Amino acid sequence: MKALGICGSARHAGNTALLIETVLDGARSSGMETETVFLNELDIGPCTGCRSCKGKTEECATADDFAGLIDKVREADLIVIGSPIYMGQVTGQTKTFLDRMYSLRRADRTIRLDGTKKKGAMVVVCGSSDPSHPDGTRRTLGVFFRYLNTPDVVELVEQGLGSEGEVLGRTEAIARAREAGQNLAGGLSPAAR
Ligand SMILES: Cc1cc2nc3c(=O)[nH]c(=O)nc-3n(C[C@H](O)[C@H](O)[C@H](O)COP(=O)(O)O)c2cc1C
């Protein structure tokens, strides 16, 4: 079984990347294969709102790395998506990717990808300590899982973080992330593809 990490931070040794990697480490310890993609390394352009995906072809008309990433999403049994909060929301590269997820929804509002047997986790990190600050970002990443029809999603939110790798000093957060990966992997049967 496969676990896929999708990182919306360009800092590959940053707090988001480290928490995603820790969840995947837990999943590996339960026997899963893992892979992480960094959105800043992919060529994924913005949705143009052309609605080709709602027409006859049901395909996104923009040819770039989005389709390949969706193939990986389709193959994955566990998906861990993470973003730092930038200006009160997910990062630009995360939002650009999420907008393209619109192509997975048909004109009749059904979803083209059956992720009902997949498991999910979201990672949100930010500088602010205000407990309500991550709410909008959590909702936005929740829409990603709605577009996959994935019901079981664990939320890992760490606040008050700034410098790269700072989260490694938080023993409890790291333990929670690893345990989440183990538990999510443990609750999986092979996903319907
Ligand atoms: C351009 C930019 C905008 C940011 N905006 C916010 C913000 O609106 N709210 C917040 O709490 N933190 C904000 N931060 C802080 C980051 O969320 C924080 O440093 C986080 O740990 C970075 O994650 P990373 O280590 O995974 O890259 C911002 C950081 C940058 C670089």
Substitution site in 12, 87, 126, 166 for ligand 1 pocket (most atoms within 8 Å of beta carbon): 126
- Cβ of 11 less than 6 Å from ligand 1: yes
d(CA 164, ligand 1 centre) in Å? 10
Q: Whose alpha carbon is nearest atom 17 of ligand 1?
A: 126
pLDDT tens-place string over residues 47-104: 999 999 998 888 899 999 999 999 999 999 999 999 999 999 999 999 999 999 999 9
pLDDT tens-place string over residues 19-41: 999 999 999 999 999 999 999 99
- Cβ of 7 less than 6 Å from ligand 1: no
Taking the model in full, what pTM does it have? Answer: 0.97
- Cβ of 128 less than 6 Å from ligand 1: yes
pLDDT of residue 36: 98
Substitution site in 16, 20, 40, 86 for ligand 1 pocket (most atoms within 8 Å of beta carbon): 86
Number of neighbouring beta carbons within 10 Å of residue 11: 16
Domains and CATH numbers, the chain: 2-186 (3.40.50.360)
Contacts 24+ apart (CB under 8 A), 139-144: 140/89, 140/90, 140/95, 140/98, 141/81, 141/83, 141/90, 141/98, 143/98, 143/101, 144/81, 144/98, 144/101
Which element (helix H / strand E) includes 124? strand 119-125
pLDDT tens-place string over residues 126-149: 999 999 999 999 999 999 999 999
